[in-house]
Amino acid sequence: QERLEESGGGLVQDGGSLRLSCKSSGSASFTMNTMAWFRQAPGNEREFVAGIHWTSIPLYADHAKERFTISRDNAMNTVSLQMNSLKPEDTALYFCAAQPLGKTGTTRGDYQTWGRGTQVTVSS
């Protein structure tokens, strides 16, 4: 059974950068997974941030475009999210998600495997 573990969260000032990583283990074929990042702030629904199809085509939410970059390293079974120009409204728990041979969905139900999340806090 696949497991996902996120890392890289932390506290950063407004305008700063962070790089999140998600390590997959136990997957039969990571290269065939569509991977995504979601986030959830207290009191809010979990929302899509960025995804990367198993063909390596990326998809971004409007709030992430031109600030965030998603990438994958199939040799290391990892997916990363480089976040630049961070804002206080980016503060949330960030989750990694995976779906074998899936489309790059933007809803929670599009993904079958989830990590436990890594906290990102942006101070003003």
d(CA 120, CA 2) in angstroms, rounded, equals: 24
- Nearest alpha carbon to residue 6 among 38, 28, 29, 34: 38
**What are the DSSP E strand ranges found in 10-116?**
10-13, 18-25, 33-40, 47-52, 58-60, 68-73, 78-83, 92-100, 113-114
d(CA 76, CA 68) in angstroms, rounded, equals: 21
Are the CB atoms for 117 and 93 separated by under 8 Å?
yes
Quote the pLDDT of residue 39. 98
Position 120: which residue type?
V
Quote the pLDDT of residue 28. 79
Enumerate residues 6+ apart whose C-beta is below 8 A from 49.
36, 37, 38, 39, 60, 61, 63, 64, 68, 81, 94
Quote the pLDDT of residue 27. 85
Mean pLDDT, consecutive 10-residue stretches, the chain (124 aa), reads 96 98 92 96 97 95 97 96 98 96 91 97 96
